[in-house]
A and B are shown apart, each in its own frame.
Chain A
Amino acid sequence: MLDYASVKEGAQIVLSTSSDENHPPENIIDGLDETFWATTGLYPQEVIIRFKSPINISSVAISCFNVQKIALEGSEQDNSDKFVLLSEQEFDRDDHHKQNEEIRVEGNKQVHCLRLLITSGYDHFVAVYNVKVNGRG
């Protein structure tokens, strides 16, 4: 399966509310499980991934840490405008372990930009290791 949200497939991070020098948001789309994007405190935190071309998302797999509530929003335009809520999830608390969650997206919408909106976490800081987007190009 193709992972559209990766550098290889031409995805880009166009916006992130936290940017640590050691843990930049690009770590989300580098395809490695060891690197991660770390937030710098406070909520909400968001990151916008732009794909090379609009795709139909069927599911999004996220591996993260300490995330409580997360919302996925999508936009058809490439200039990250007019976002529409795709899905909203609350993850269980899982101390000392990575949360590996898969969010199914219904509706078969064309999405060019995907926004991850972390509205609350189980601690002051959260980390996102990887985001994989499955769908049709």
Chain B
Amino acid sequence: MNPAAARPGTRGGQVAGGVALNAQVTVVDRPTTQQGLGGMKTAARGGRQVQDKTYYLGLIRSKINELNAEIIKLTKDIENASEENSSYLAYEKRAEALATEIRDLQGELGDYNTLVDKLTTDEDIQDVEFDCNNLKSQNDRDAKKIEELFDVKKQKEDQIQLLETEMDQERRMADNMVNDMKPEMRQHYMKLKELNQHLLRQLESGQQELDQLNSRIEGLQEELSQSQVKQEAVRLYDQLHELESKRNALQEEAKTRGSPAEEREKLLKQVKEDNQEIASMDRQSRELQEKIEQMQHEISQLDLDIEESQGERNQKYKELKKREESMDEFLNSFEENKAEELKKIAELETNITTLLEHMSRNMGRFTNLPTPKDLMTMKEDLAFKEDEMKKSETTTIELATQRDKLQQDLQKMDQFEEKLKEELVVIKKKADQMEKDVAMYSDLEKLRADAEAKKQKLMESRVILQRRRDTFKKQMQLLNADYNSLKAQLMENETYTQANFSTWSTALRPLKA
């Protein structure tokens, strides 16, 4: 219930606190003034009661102090500003450097962005490398082009320099020539030079004038194109020009023209003259035509003559040529033909000799030909022999078949033999074995000893095994006892029996149904 404690932060509260803390103020006792709760004012709040000279002096002093502080502050500001100004240049330089750095970094960022783009679009590294190579090659090409251009530029510059030197030389030469001239010539030359310069100046001025006029024309034309009335006027002026020129021409004509009679006479005379001229020209033309015809006739005659004479000679010439060709051919192929013919002759000769030999042999045989009777017997013989031959052929066939059969038999026999050999080997082995056995069994003592030893061994093992059986039995008994005790324990277990019962009953249900 302490208002001062409730609002400790305010200045008024603190000032008032001195009073309020000591006075136990209760809200209920507080008078509700016109200004609400804020009406509770202390005397300190009202300001100074007595305001004398010293008070005002104090006030002014404080104000002066404030002003001084302000002035100091401002001077400091100014200093700062000047300092900043001085360092501005340095900053600017730095800013420039930073800007370039930023540009470089932006470029780098762009590269990385593209890289990220490539990564997100799942582009292959090979594609990227391919692109990179492409760009590189393009760069190289551009660089080369630039170099080429630079070379061209250098060449041009060289050319220009060369030409300048040449020009210099020419000028010097011209000067020399002028110097070497005779005085008259030089004077003449100088005059001409002056004239040239003068003319050049004139030309220049004229050109300038022309340009001016041209520009003026352009301006006027522009003006013209802008106004329709002026265009119309131009058109009318043109018409007027035309008509004037026409009128002038007509006036000239009218001046030369005389009276109608004179004119007619003049015309008649002209006509007559013309007619005469025409007639003469006609005649001339006719004569010329006749001449032409004659000439043509002559030409045709000459042509005919030429043809006749040339035709006969040509034919002869052609014939001769043909003959020559054939002869040439004959001569060329003569050797070959000769060789061929000789060959043919030789062949025929050999043929003839063989035929003659044959004939002579046959002639020899002809002498010892048999009589018809002999022939008959021979024929019989032949028939008989043919028969025999047939028989023998059949027998050969039979024999071949027999041979095949026998061969098969032979093969079978071979196989049999092999088998027998194998059997023999087996039997031999058996015999060996038996012989060994015989040797073994003949030594009865050893056999007996062996048997005894075996028996001994077996007995030993019997003993061992019996012992083992006993131990096994014992172990079994022990294990059985264990098992039984465990089983009993299980049976005693209630949960097991119950579980077992329930499983049994579930198993039996389907059987009952």
Give the B-binding residues of A (Cβ under 8 A): 12-16, 26, 48, 79-81
Contact = CB atoms under 8 A, between A and B. Distances in A.
Interface string B3-14: 000000000000
Contacts of A12: 464, 467
Interface of B: prevailing SS = helix
Contacts of B467: 12, 14
Central interface residue in A13, A14, A48, A80, by most chain B CB within 10 Å? A14
B430 interface: no
Contacts of B474: 79-81
Central interface residue in B467, B470, B471, by most chain A CB within 10 Å? B471
B488 to A, nearest CB: 21
Contacts of B471: 14-15, 48, 79-80
B468 interface: yes
Contacts, number: 22
Interface string B457-470: 00000001001101
A79 B475 CA distance: 10
A13 B470 CA distance: 12
B411 to A, nearest CB: 50
Which 3 pairs across A and B sit closest by C-beta, in order of nearness?
A14-B471, A15-B471, A80-B471
Name the interface size band of chain B: under 10
A29 to B, nearest CB: 12
A26 B195 CA distance: 150
Nearest to B472: A15
Contacts of B410: none
Contacts of B468: 13-16
A51 B433 CA distance: 47
Nearest to A25: B468
Contacts of B478: 81
Contacts of A15: 468, 471-472, 475
A13 B471 CA distance: 10
B475 A80 contact: yes
Contacts of B475: 15, 80
Nearest to B477: A81
Contacts of B472: 15
A14 B464 CA distance: 7
Interface in B462-500: 464, 467-468, 470-472, 474-475, 478
A88 B217 CA distance: 130
A79 B474 CA distance: 8
Nearest to A16: B468
B52 to A, nearest CB: 112
Contacts of B470: 14
A25 to B, nearest CB: 9
Interface in B118-163: none
A81 B467 CA distance: 14
Given A14-B471, A80-B475, 20 more contacts: A12-B464, A12-B467, A13-B464, A13-B468, A14-B467, A14-B468, A14-B470, A15-B468, A15-B471, A15-B472, A15-B475, A16-B468, A26-B464, A48-B471, A79-B471, A79-B474, A80-B471, A80-B474, A81-B474, A81-B478
